[in-house]
Structure 1
Amino acid sequence: MTRVNLRLLDGGMGRELQRIGAPFRQPEWSALALIEAPEYVLRAHQAFVAAGARIITTNSYAVVPFHIGDERFAEQGSALADLAGRLARQAASENADAVTVAGSLPPALGSYRPDLFDHQRSVAIHRGLIAGLRVHVDVWLAETQSSIAEVRAVVEALGTEPAPLWVSFTLLDEEGREPRLRSNEPVADAVGVAVELGAKAVLFNCSQPEVMAAALNEARIVIENLGGAVELGVYANAFPPVSANAEANSTLLEIRRDLGPDSYLDWSKTWVAAGASIVGGCCGIGPEHIASLHVHLHDQNTEVPVHE
């Protein structure tokens, strides 16, 4: 068993942009600030870094046809991805400590919608994002992946890209049962495929805190059995339970009032105890949450076990 430093990921970009007054509406979501007022994107990155995040994610999650439309994506998708990468890299370079830039590769055809998956179209969309992001990123983060098929499309699109791949799955918000992806595929199967495809980290995101520890435990067992050296991580959202028929970001969901910084810190301690070495937040988790993790989790418990 190897020990590595715990690393803090940033929080939810969309809600932070909305909070600081950036242009923000559906269907563009977080991409609207990138299009109309990119200075707000830089401010959001800077806020998370100041809070203690040492991994920041490019604001490319909504730079897909689902949010910006087919025509705009065809004309501007790679350029917007390039801008997202440059802004993240600028925020990272301003900090005295090293900050990792993770290139966000989202579900290409809509979050929480594995039923809409189309392999060739997904590969084409990801290649457009990769073309803009590649010179700026340290790792690729395939995030909010609802199915194994979505991950396979990302890997095909990446081809021989040299930066490491991290894969992050979104889970059914159902406690007390075997943890599953939103496609209803078992977490154990998904983690096995991610490891076989070369992922250097497996994370779980955009699901409730309550379901994360069980997924981590499943992932840890799979990784141990495969004999791989793969990091684990979590960045939960602050949404109430989301139904299996929901479509992420299709409406502005309410944020749970019981997930302030102290409560989120308590959940994060359980993830670290379960083997997570990367911890941050997704939708509704802001700089104040990351600052709490930095003070109470990162500074007081700088190393966690990683099973290999």
Structure 2
Amino acid sequence: MTDTLEQGPPVLLDGAMGTELAERGFELRGPLFSARALLDAPELVEQIHWDYLCAGAQVLTTNSFGLHAASLAKAGVAERQAELARRSVEVLEQVRTRARARGSDMTRFRIAGSIPPRPPGGERALARAEYRAYADGLADAGVDLLLLETFTNVDAARLALEGLAGVELPVWLSVVAGLPTPGQSAPDGTRLISGDSFEDLGQLLRSETHRVPDALLINCTQIDAVPAALDALIRASAELELPLGFSPHLGRRRYDGVWIDRIIGPKVFAAQIQAWMKVRPRLIIAGACCGSRPDYIAAMQHSLMPSEAAREQAFVRLAQLLP
């Protein structure tokens, strides 16, 4: 095994928060789901972040997936968006303090502020304002980048990027591929799950009417749809010099329709990630989504950066992405 991929080791993201909360006994229920842990179990959120950091993650994502105004209003805490965004970052700063107290170089991780798609509907001007308020709350709290993640259609991504026009922080956009195909077990990875094409996404990215993202990823995409999705992502962004990445989820429906949270183990998953990246050198960011746990990130670190020198190379790449 070589120490790195030919193009150098990727930046390593973390894994699923909701999966880990549930695995550790926290009840995920609407309307806030995993974000409710910021209110009810912040110490558990901190421990999960810590475990991902110890597993090798270099970018940790705030537990803020669920802080849109509509969700907060349903939960009876409509006025607490900025407070909860700040709390999601404070938990991660506690993780940094914990690492510093141990004299560890793990303090070098960066913080990604998670922003999911808002519920559909409503006035477009209001939608843009909601995305901006969400982003401003995370930016004011001290995140290093804004991660628009799990976007399933191009128009929602357009609204978010329009709302973030003028934002100075780096913005990464992550979309979900894998259009369900009737009668087929594997979804169509060449399209977003809404049916939108990657060509439509590419046209959006070439527009100058909004905030252009600084990196483009796919996440929460079924494993057997990933190769086609990655190739479509690369083709759609061929004219753009955007860093690319991916964080697949690990689940799939069984033959009888029962959902299985994870269909492969950490070592097999990490080897598959490595194989996909080896033949696609534009992919320089990697992580895992739903169903993943810290041992999956640890296995990825072992496969993608098995030496200290390789890990240092990855931190250099991270500094280039997030100066």
Please give the TM-score of this superposition, normalised by the length of structure 1.
0.83
Match of 2:168 among 162, 168, 179: 162
CA distance in 2, matches of 1:122, 1:241: 33
Question: Structure 1's 27 and 70: CA in aligned 2 closer, same or farther, altered over 3 A?
Answer: closer
The answer to whether the aligner puts 1:261 opposite 2:266 as a matched pair is yes
How far residue 278 of structure 1 moved from its aligned partner, in angstroms, is 0.8
Q: Which amino acid aligns with 1:286?
A: R
Question: Structure 1's 191 and 241: CA in aligned 2 closer, same or farther, altered over 3 A?
Answer: farther
Q: Which amino acid aligns with 2:51?
A: A
- The range that moved more, 233-242 or 150-159, is 233-242
How far residue 74 of structure 1 moved from its aligned partner, in angstroms, is 2.5
CA distance in 1, matches of 2:253, 2:148: 23
User: Where do 5+ consecutive residues of structure 2 fail to align?
Assistant: 1-5, 181-185, 318-323
State the identity as a percent: 28
RMSD: 2.8
User: Residues 8 and 298 of structure 1 are in contact (CA less than 8 Å); yes or no, is this contact kept in structure 2?
Assistant: no
- What's the counterpart of residue 14 of structure 2? 10
- What's the counterpart of residue 152 of structure 1? 158
Match of 2:193 among 173, 176, 182: 182
- What's the counterpart of residue 105 of structure 2? 96
- The range that moved more, 66-75 or 206-215, is 66-75
Secondary structure at the counterpart of residue 161 of structure 1 = coil
- The range that moved more, 161-170 or 184-193, is 184-193
Please show how residues 216-295 of structure 1 align to structure 2 within 5 Å. 216-224=230-238, 226=239, 228-241=240-253, 254-273=259-278, 274-275=280-281, 276-295=283-302
CA distance in 1, matches of 2:70, 2:275: 35
- What's the counterpart of residue 320 of structure 2? none
Please show how residues 65-144 of structure 1 align to structure 2 within 5 Å. 65=69, 67-70=71-74, 72-92=76-96, 94=99, 96-97=105-106, 98-109=108-119, 116=121, 119-135=124-140, 136-144=142-150
- The range that moved more, 191-200 or 11-20, is 191-200
- The range that moved more, 141-150 or 18-27, is 18-27
Question: Structure 1's 147 and 117: CA in aligned 2 closer, same or farther, altered over 3 A?
Answer: farther
CA distance in 1, matches of 2:243, 2:122: 27
User: Residues 9 and 279 of structure 1 are in contact (CA less than 8 Å); yes or no, is this contact kept in structure 2?
Assistant: yes
User: Where do 5+ consecutive residues of structure 1 fail to align?
Assistant: 110-114, 243-252
- What's the counterpart of residue 112 of structure 1? none
- What's the counterpart of residue 40 of structure 1? 44
User: Residues 146 and 171 of structure 1 are in contact (CA less than 8 Å); yes or no, is this contact kept in structure 2?
Assistant: yes
User: Residues 194 and 202 of structure 1 are in contact (CA less than 8 Å); yes or no, is this contact kept in structure 2?
Assistant: no
User: Residues 72 and 80 of structure 2 are in contact (CA less than 8 Å); yes or no, is this contact kept in structure 1?
Assistant: no
Q: Which amino acid aligns with 2:12?
A: L
CA distance in 1, matches of 2:91, 2:113: 12
Please show how residues 292-307 of structure 1 align to structure 2 within 5 Å. 292-299=299-306
Match of 1:191 among 202, 205, 221: 202
Q: Which amino acid aligns with 2:303?
A: H
Match of 1:212 among 191, 201, 226: 226
User: Residues 31 and 68 of structure 1 are in contact (CA less than 8 Å); yes or no, is this contact kept in structure 2?
Assistant: no
Q: Which amino acid aligns with 1:160?
A: G
Question: Structure 1's 176 and 145: CA in aligned 2 closer, same or farther, altered over 3 A?
Answer: closer
CA distance in 1, matches of 2:262, 2:149: 25
- What's the counterpart of residue 247 of structure 1? none
CA distance in 1, matches of 2:112, 2:52: 14
CA distance in 1, matches of 2:169, 2:265: 34
User: Residues 208 and 241 of structure 1 are in contact (CA less than 8 Å); yes or no, is this contact kept in structure 2?
Assistant: no
Match of 1:63 among 56, 67, 72: 67
User: Residues 205 and 236 of structure 1 are in contact (CA less than 8 Å); yes or no, is this contact kept in structure 2?
Assistant: yes
How far residue 3 of structure 1 moved from its aligned partner, in angstroms, is 4.5
- The range that moved more, 45-54 or 71-80, is 71-80
User: Residues 173 and 207 of structure 1 are in contact (CA less than 8 Å); yes or no, is this contact kept in structure 2?
Assistant: no
CA distance in 1, matches of 2:297, 2:259: 20
Secondary structure at the counterpart of residue 18 of structure 1 = helix
How far residue 118 of structure 1 moved from its aligned partner, in angstroms, is 5.6
